[in-house]
Amino acid sequence: MQHFATGGEAAAYLCAQIRDTTVGIGGSKTADQLGLYEKLSENNTVYWHWRVPGWETLEKANHAAVYITSANAMTEGGEILNIDGRGNRLAGQVFGRKKVYYVVGSNKICPDFESALQRAHGTAAVENCKRFPNKPPCQIDGQCHDCRHPDRICRALLVTWMPMMDMETEVILIDEELGL
């Protein structure tokens, strides 16, 4: 784990570590706030569906050597929780690449699993849903209903306890509130 006081310091570190390779970025407000697509594109081939929409970009991101994502929540003990609707972000974290970087703002750190699950489900997923044209109940009243709505964006939960076998993982912890 690397620990930085600011997002700018974290972005500079990532740019120094990631050079001359392919990079996939999962849907991440944190990565967006840090300007990682633009910064990493200077010395890498970067795939991010937020910049170049479409399935081809999603597929290339999931086959990149390096994958950058964030966490919906992380426990003080290091468990990383992510909820996803399409699955590309979850798939990118668990298979097929050389290294995964989790870029995590201090607002996502929770004391235990239960509070992390509540943050991932009741805060991050609800806020993420507001970015889409869907109309599940949480978008209307800001509360998770654990619904079965057809537009639900929280369809899968991934809990990462340890790095996957044969894949390097690094958490970049930033002392700023970043992302959702």
Q: Is the pLDDT of residue 79 over 80?
A: yes
Q: Which of 86, 69, 76, 73 is nearest to 27 (CA)?
A: 69
Domain contains 131:
no
By the 8 A CB rule, do 23 and 68 touch? yes
Give burial (CB, 10 Å; 0-12/13-18/19+) of 116: buried
What is the mean pLDDT of the segment spanning 47-58?
Answer: 97
Rounded Cα distance between 121 and 22, Å, is 31
Predicted TM-score (pTM) of this structure: 0.94
What total number of domains does the chain contain? 1
| CATH code of the domain in which 68 resides | 3.40.50.10420
Residue span of the structural domain in which 47 resides: 2-112+156-174
* CB distance 152 to 116 below 8 Å: no
pLDDT at 10 over 80: yes
- Dump pLDDT digits (tens) for 100-147: 999 999 999 999 999 999 999 899 988 887 877 777 877 778 888 888
